[in-house]
Amino acid sequence: MFKAQVRVTLLALLLPLLLNATAILKDDLLKLEASKLIEQMGDELFSKTGINAYVVATNENFPEKFNLVEYSKKYEANTSKPYVILIFAPNAIITQKSGQKGRVALIPSSDALRKLYNKSDVMDATIDVVAFKDKNTKEDKFNIGIVQGFSELADQIATSKNVKLKTTIPNDTRTFIGYLKILVYIGTFFVLWIFILRPLWMRIKNGKK
């Protein structure tokens, strides 16, 4: 009888920990290395903030305007509040007419949690990697995008709680894309200067003389 009571007590104590044992609710896309990184970041975020971050990486072919909020409810039994779920669905149809695919969603368990991160920044961190043209395979881009998006989400939540995470990774891809944009702007300015602005300035200058 005593042993049974001890087992029940231990189970009650361990159950919350078991609920937080994995940050990945569905995995159709992730490689082992990516899964490990996500688990490490999720564990550290929870240990330092008490907030759970989860990933649903699915290759399901969702139709146009599919409700991802309702879809996320099927995983509630495997989550522990407070939480934010990052859904990555590369095969979800954006519009039937265009044929474009790929949706990312962030589902918080409360409005208060929604204020702890910038949705656009997290989605950009995820999508920029996938959209960027390089020699990586589509599968590798999916993995990098999910890890980068999850890292951005964890970092922003931690920052909102005045906490620093050690397991997250720098958003190098977004920084690189930012540099490229700056170079494009500079190049555009030089083209405008050489072919339009400088001749105009010279005409005005000579005209004044």
User: Which residues are registered as beta bridge partners of 56?
Assistant: 26, 87
| Residue 120 domain boundaries | 2-170
Structural domain count, the chain: 1
Domain membership flag for residue 206: no
Residue 151: which CATH number?
Answer: 3.10.310.50
Domain membership flag for residue 67: yes
pTM to 2 decimals?
Answer: 0.73
Domain membership flag for residue 187: no
Which has the higher per-residue pLDDT, 134 or 126?
Answer: 126
Q: Which two tokens stand for residue 157?
A: 């939540």
Q: What is the pLDDT of residues 50-109, one digit of tens each?
A: 999 999 999 999 999 999 999 999 999 999 999 999 999 999 999 888 888 999 999 999
Domain membership flag for residue 205: no
Domain membership flag for residue 200: no
**Which of 90, 80, 27 minimizes the C-alpha distance to 56?**
27
Domain membership flag for residue 199: no
